Chains A and B, each alone.
Chain A
Amino acid sequence: MSETAYPSTWRRPPRLVKHRGWRWGLWFGVLLYLVLAAGSVEVDIARVLSGLERGQRFVSGFLQPDFVTRWSDIRQGLIESLTMTLTATVIGILISVPIGIGAARNLTPAPVYLLCRAIIAVSRALQEIIIAIFLVAMFGFGPFAGFLTLSFATIGFLAKLLADDIEEIDARQAEAIRATGASWWQFIDYAVRPQVMPRLIGLSLYRLDINFRESSVIGIVGAGGIGATLNTAIDRYDYDSAGAILLLIIAIVLVSEYASGMLRKYLQ
């Protein structure tokens, strides 16, 4: 068998951009962007170096957290965070169910559909933190503004996923129920609810997790909760307490993630 007749080199065919010039141009463009972007970052070496010592203190604070000194503040922050997480999730679910049903194209007339979709779009487009800024300005500092923020954010999240879910229900089952002469309410109860309920429960538990995580942030702009405590601790360079708070947040997220996983498995 003579092997000399076969080519002795092989190049993998390009996967994305077939034209050689465009390929090089693309690489050049990416490189140029990276250089420009990196150039726009002004690094004050002296400041960073002086910060390294503080960084070290933060790491040691994380490793040897101090739960005791500010315990009453931490406790208050945690209670606010947990209570506003739960109440906001419950209220959020209660409001997002009708809005979700209203935003499902296969159930509602066009005007209602458009209105509900608009509410969802507004809620999703705005960051929690920006909503919190406005609500704090309107309702004053404290967990009540945080509660409203989280409820509002929950609506955008749950109502959208619920509406998408309803739009994807099995049409044959729905048709069968409709064929029995069921009214609109009976139709929701017998055709829609059984199909979307498991996922609604799963999503609600997931949103509970997210709300807790968010509740640790919105305190930074004055909406109460553990975020406010954390903000104060960091402002005072009290890294031992900050480390303790962060560890508590991580632990609660872990526990709630585990618990919601178990609960979801049990409920389904």
Chain B
Amino acid sequence: MTDIGHYREVWRPASAARRLTRWFAWLALVALFVFCWQLMTENTIWAFVSDAPRQAADIGSRMVPPRWSYLPALMAPLWDTINIATLGTLGGIAMAIPVAFLAARNTTPSARFLRPAALFVIVASRSINSLIWALLLVAIIGPGLLAGIVAIALRSIGFIGKLLYEAIEEIDPKPGEAISATGARPAQVLDYAIVPQIVPAFIAIGVFRWDINIRESTILGLVGAGGIGLQLQSSINVLAWPQVTMILLLILGTVVVSEWVSATLRRAMI
């Protein structure tokens, strides 16, 4: 054996200062968590919380078995839900395309004014959940499918716009240079050099969002914007738990099918 007696016996993976800051960061996080917890639970009625398992068991026992006879009555709302998602996605795409071109650094006509405006539209649309959009639209244009469609469309602008403008910024600039060198108009450069490069990304984004929108449109009815959520809301209101189970099962099935459809579409089109 070699003599190792004269080497240091303590080894630490980081320097003392780094360890100290890390330790403080963790401490701060724990303190923040405790503080938030206190603040949040200020008004919590613990009796309800301790009663929760009994409530859960109660609801659970009422929920089974699902009321299968309710299924036929759900077909029309389901059709509405799918229409909300599809038409809303189409509307969102139609509005997101110009926004994306205005927001992309390499295609925007004015980097000083239009680009920030387009970016704001994207952020505003993205930060506000489609349910909130629906809440607003139901108040403004009245309950019904239209409010749902517009809500889905408004929420989709930000999602599609963001991913699309990132895709536009990543394109290869050389074909664009080559097409402009032939004396083509800007619209033709767009058509021949830019659009072909973003088509695959565009299809993937659109199908992906449609899939998400199917999920979201199932609950828009909770605030009156049409679709199967309306039935969910009214069933909960009258505490018809077997019907609720039926609706949830149908939603689950729809989501699984839409996921399969979107995966198939993506594979076929790209």
Contacts and interface: CB of A to CB of B under 8 A. Distances in A.
Do chains A and B make direct contact within the complex (CB under 8 angstroms)? yes
Interface of A: 16, 33, 37-38, 40-44, 47-48, 51-52, 54-55, 58, 79-80, 82-84, 86-87, 90, 125-127, 129-130, 133-134, 137-140, 142-144, 147, 213-214, 216-217, 220-221, 227, 230-231, 234-235, 237, 242, 246, 249-250, 253-254
B45 interface: yes
Contacts of A51: 140-142
Interface string B86-114: 11000000000000000000000000000
11 contacts: A33-B86, A37-B87, A41-B149, A48-B142, A83-B40, A84-B40, A90-B29, A130-B248, A137-B55, A220-B135, A246-B128
A254 B123 contact: yes
A49 to B, nearest CB: 9
A214 B131 CA distance: 10
B86 A37 contact: yes
A214 B39 contact: no
Contacts of B52: 138-139
Interface of B: 29, 32-33, 36-37, 39-41, 43-45, 48-49, 52, 55-56, 59, 79-80, 83, 86-87, 123-124, 126-129, 131-132, 135-136, 139-142, 144-146, 149, 215-216, 218-219, 222-223, 232, 236, 248, 251-252, 255, 268-269
**Taking chain B's interface residues, is the majority helix, strand, or loop, or is none over half, making it mixed?**
helix
Nearest to A16: B269
Contacts of B219: 127, 129-130
Contacts of B59: 134, 137-138
A237 B149 CA distance: 22
A216 B236 CA distance: 22
Contacts of B248: 126, 130
Contacts of B131: 129, 217, 220
A230 B132 contact: yes
Contact of B141 (A47, A221, A249): A47
Given A82-B36, A143-B40, A58 B136 contact: yes
B83 A83 contact: no
Nearest to A249: B127
Contact of A231 (B45, B135, B140): B135
Contact of A142 (B44, B142, B251): B44
A253 B45 contact: no
Contact of B146 (A16, A41, A126, A133): A41
A237 B48 CA distance: 32
Given A127-B218, A134-B59, A144-B49, A41 B40 contact: no
A43 B146 contact: yes
Contact of B83 (A40, A54, A133, A221): A40
A215 to B, nearest CB: 10
A185 B83 CA distance: 51
A139 to B, nearest CB: 5
Given A37-B83, A133-B236, A80 B40 contact: yes
A153 to B, nearest CB: 13
Contact of B128 (A16, A138, A250): A250
Contacts of B232: 130
Contacts of A80: 40
Contacts of A33: 86
Given A138-B52, A147-B40, A125 B252 contact: yes
B203 to A, nearest CB: 11
A90 B216 CA distance: 26
- Which of B29, B131, B218 neighbours the largest number of chain A CB atoms within 10 Å of its CB? B131
A54 B37 CA distance: 39
Contacts of B149: 41
B33 A249 contact: no
Contacts of B56: 138
A78 to B, nearest CB: 11
A83 B39 contact: yes
A95 B91 CA distance: 39
Nearest to B269: A16
B48 A55 contact: no
Contacts of B236: 133
B146 A48 contact: yes
A246 B128 CA distance: 7
A79 B39 contact: yes
Nearest to A40: B83
Nearest to A250: B127
A130 to B, nearest CB: 7
Contacts of A90: 29, 33
B129 A144 contact: no
Contact of B142 (A47, A125, A254): A47
